[in-house]
Chain A
Amino acid sequence: MSDRDIFAGGALPARPGRVPGRVKEKLEIFLRSEAVEDGLVPLAATRAVAGRFSLSLSAVERFVLKIGLFPLRYRRQRGLFGTRGQLRLLRARVGVIGCGGLGGAIFEMLVRAGTGTILAVDFDIFSESNLNRQALCSVEGLGRPKAEVARQRALSLNPAVEVIPLVMPFQEPAARQRLAGCDLVFDGLDSIPARLELAAFCAASDLYLVHGAVAGWCGQTAVIPPGGNRLAEFYPAGKASPDNPEPVNLAPTVNAVAAFQVAAGLRFLLGDQAPDSLSGGAFLDLSGPELETWS
């Protein structure tokens, strides 16, 4: 997958993912001169460097971190992530399965945080009944593939993030092959059978899965470690969907559950938390509101 043209928004031939040794010194001098207070480098400077030296913006941001500076756009997460954490995040590769309600909100948060590579997997197109809650859905985007819209959205939010749109079901061999190389997979699906299939795939592929699901004011979330099939325990009656011909899905619920999923995912990717300590779950009822957690 090629990097993107950070200025025009279109696809360009692949740009180097690393700053070549011969320009490092020159780049460092320039970036230090452009840094504002506290070693923060503005987007204008990273973009200028990427353009001038034909580098990907991601490579420039990683270089900024390596020389002890910090991209200004991540300033408000510096205190929690630190240089090491932000670098880890920019090198991370995650899958977002489903780019609708949960998946769209998850995607936006991951893009803003500076997650290196995101595989956006969704075979569907946006339709009118998505407008009430799906972060990536707009009137202009109706009828367009969700995964493609996700990529466009990332270009306007954070062009340093590489998005690989896969307009296909995650069950396709091409999608599975790419997902197998991820650090983490997010469940943004909308049906129980599909979730159980995804959980089985993650279990077999040694992947952590961050599960989320919603119905009305309620939602649940859990980190599913690889190897087992803990998700099946949450659906004890099997694959049957709730007996509701007209699903109710609300923006506050999908955003709340997506926020739990992204928080767990980021803590995992930052590596400052033992993965096993994240493998609990939570049930939210926003009508209360109430929150129940389990280990």
Chain B
Amino acid sequence: MRVTVKFFAGFREGRFKSREIEFPGPPTVAAILERYAISPDAVGVVLCNGRHVDFSHRLADGETCSIFPKVGGG
């Protein structure tokens, strides 16, 4: 199955901006983070098809997952 993964800000360094990725089965957000060596501690908002989801969310075929870094300053 194929899902689209979009990284934002610093997560793009050494990775990519947006790419269609092949997975053997429906991946969770946590599995995507692990595949691209992103520490969950660094992650803030995660959107799947425009809605906020948690790390356990399992993506459906054709879904888009957008991953944003945590921002906490003011």
Contact = CB atoms under 8 A, between A and B. Distances in A.
Given A101-B73, A213-B71, A295-B51, A236 B40 contact: yes
Nearest to A220: B71
B59 interface: no
B66 A292 contact: yes
A108 interface: no
Interface residues of A, number: 44
A218 B67 CA distance: 13
Count chain B CB atoms within 10 A of each CB in A212, A235, A281, A287 and give the residue with the most: A235
Interface stretch (A6-14, A87-95, A202-210, A237-245): A237-245
Contacts of B43: 236-237
Interface in A159-200: 187-192, 195
Nearest to A250: B73
B69 A242 contact: yes
Chain B: number of interface residues, binned into ranges: 20 to 34
Contact of A294 (B51, B54, B74): B51
A283 interface: yes
A101 B41 CA distance: 24
Contact of A220 (B46, B50, B68): B68
Contact of A191 (B52, B68, B69, B72): B72
Contacts of A219: 71
A40 interface: no
Contact of B73 (A230, A249, A283): A249
Contact of A188 (B41, B42, B55, B74): B74
B1 interface: no
Contact of A98 (B45, B46, B74): B74
B42 to A, nearest CB: 7
- State the main secondary structure of chain A at its contact with B: mixed
Nearest to A187: B74
B72 A215 contact: yes
A102 B73 CA distance: 9
Given A233-B54, A237-B40, A240-B41, A214 B47 contact: no
Nearest to B74: A190
Interface of B: 8-10, 39-47, 50-52, 54-55, 66, 68-74
Interface of A: 98, 100-103, 187-192, 195, 212-220, 230, 233-237, 240-243, 247-249, 254, 281, 283, 285, 287, 290, 292-295
Given A213-B73, A248-B73, 4 more contacts: A188-B74, A213-B72, A242-B71, A294-B51
